Every structure is written in C-alpha cells, then in structure tokens.
Amino acid sequence: MEIIEYFKNGEGRELFLEQIGNSDWVAGKYLYKLLKNDKLEELTGESPKVFLLSDGGKLAAFCTLTAADDIPDSELTPWIGFAYTFPEYRGRRHMGQLIDRAAGAAASEGHEAVYISTDHEGLYEKYGFEFYKNMTDRRGEISRVYIRRLK
C-alpha cells in the first residue's frame, strides 16, 4: 500500500480520478466532478489536498484535507473530508493511514487540530477523534463534528 497525493501525481492522476468516480458513494462521485472540473479549491479553499491509498495502482481509499468543508461559515479549519474506503478494503483500518497522513500535513502547517463532519457515530473515534458538537451543514441538516487534536 502506498499513499499518494493526487495533485502531486501527474502521470497517474486520470487513473485515480476514474476510480474515485466509480465509487458507489454519492459524495465520491461529487468529488470526482469537483476534481474533473477543477472546482475543489473553489468549494473548499486554497491548497486542498487529496490523499489516495493505492494498492498497486488500484484505489483502496481516499480522503481530502481542506480549509473548509460542508459546515458553512465555520471558523474551524482544516477539515478531513470525502473519507471513503472501497468495500473490498474495509475492515482493515486503511482509512487510519490516510487520516494520519492528513493530520500530519495539518500539523506541519501549524494547525493544532483537524475536524471531520459526519453522520456516523463510533467510526472516527478509533482514529483519534472525539465528538466536538453538532453543527448545521450546507443542506440544513445536523451533522456531528469531531475533532482530533494534533498537539
């Protein structure tokens, strides 16, 4: 398994982009459209990062690290988002590798914490997150926001 940064992977970018688009998750298909149309930065702020876990060129999991996420008008930053593991790779904590890489990138940029917005309960705690508070997302729905302290 190898972690690759999408924007630093010129040659294989199209291959991984197609695999993101082939995910069975609506948000994965949305990320595909944002990347394909070069709109991720417009939605999430400057210098977004997309981390890919590759199994010999086959995409196992992906996530983003961005300034903003689906919680509008929030002073919280940065956010881990679009966290997804393909079904055949689930149950092996592969997402933990990506979250650790994203958290490391955030820490190297001087951040003291990272956040994630989800409707899942009991999923991200195993990766060092703790419940922060409920917040309203862009669709007007309540989302659970978790924090992972970096320092």
At 94-120, the pLDDT tens digits run 999 999 999 999 999 999 999 999 988
Helices (H) and strands (E) counted in the chain, each on its own, are: 4, 7
At 43-71, the pLDDT tens digits run 999 999 999 999 999 999 999 999 999 99
Other Cβ atoms less than 10 A from the Cβ of 126: the count is 11
Judged against a pLDDT cut of 80, whether residue 11 lies above it is answered with no
Other Cβ atoms less than 10 A from the Cβ of 111: the count is 16
Residue 146's pLDDT is 97
Domain spans of the chain, in order of start: 2-149
The CATH architecture annotation of domain 2-149 reads 3-Layer(aba) Sandwich (3.40)
Closest CA to 103 of 143, 34, 151, 42: 151
Structure tokens, 3: 């972690």
